[in-house]
Amino acid sequence: MLRKEVVWFPLALLFAYPLSAATYTFELDPAATKVDFTFGATLHTVDGFLRAKEGSVRIDPETHEASGRFVLDATSAQTGVSRRDHKMHEKILESPSYTEIVFEPQRFSGMLNPVGRSQLELHGMLELHGTKRPMDMTIVATSDGTQVKGTGMMIVPYLDWGMKDPSFFLLRVEKEVRVTIHAVGRLSGDSQAAR
């Protein structure tokens, strides 16, 4: 009888705190990650891309808190038209002065599944053109428990960050840019026994 009590008591303690202290960390693989952006203009759509520099986010499924940062290289932005790209970097992004675009998640909504499909929204701050403002990133991802592939999307009303309107004369440019991050990285978990 004593042996059963000795065995079941630790098990009872274990199940009392199933995953209450579990957190997950996603580490981005910048080399395998692709970042696209697109916006509408008069009679056409402008498509471009830029590089991811680094990224790491830590998520607590119990508290829905998030932390970390995703960093994009503003100087790498290209649309395939050199004259337009020169103006974009010099007059709009001013990338020689503001070299990075940084998203810092603070919390999340939705469900994180360490294995399988997850759909969630990261809520945080986007630093762009030297200004920080609230921003949400919608994410759909799949994970095998270690490797993660996912798509994150932000719609950025860039004038709110103090950037200039590139419209002139007959050319009219939309005031929002859709940014899509095709991310690849690794997921790790950390669970600590509650004290």
Specify the residue for token string 């203009």: 41
Q: State mean pLDDT over 1-20.
A: 41
Residue 15: pLDDT band (50, 70, 90) is: very low
Does the structure show a pLDDT above 50 at 98? Answer: yes
**3 state SS of 3:** helix
**Choice between 120 and 194, residue whose per-residue pLDDT is larger:** 120
Does the structure show a pLDDT above 90 at 189? Answer: no
The closest alpha carbon to 71, from 102, 49, 99, 98, belongs to 102
By percentage, how much of the chain surpasses pLDDT 90? 73
Does the structure show a pLDDT above 90 at 1? Answer: no
Its pTM surpasses 0.95: no
- CA-to-CA distance for 128 and 101, rounded, in angstroms? 5
Residue 151: pLDDT band (50, 70, 90) is: very high
DSSP 8-state assignment for residue 55: E
Contact indicator for 191, 52 with CB cutoff of 8 Å: no
- CA-to-CA distance for 78 and 21, rounded, in angstroms? 43
- Would you state the structure tokens that stand for residue 43, as one six-digit string? 């009679």
Domains defined for the chain, CATH in brackets: 22-190 (2.40.128.110)
Q: How many CB atoms lie within 10 A of CB 76?
A: 16
Does the structure show a pLDDT above 70 at 74? Answer: yes
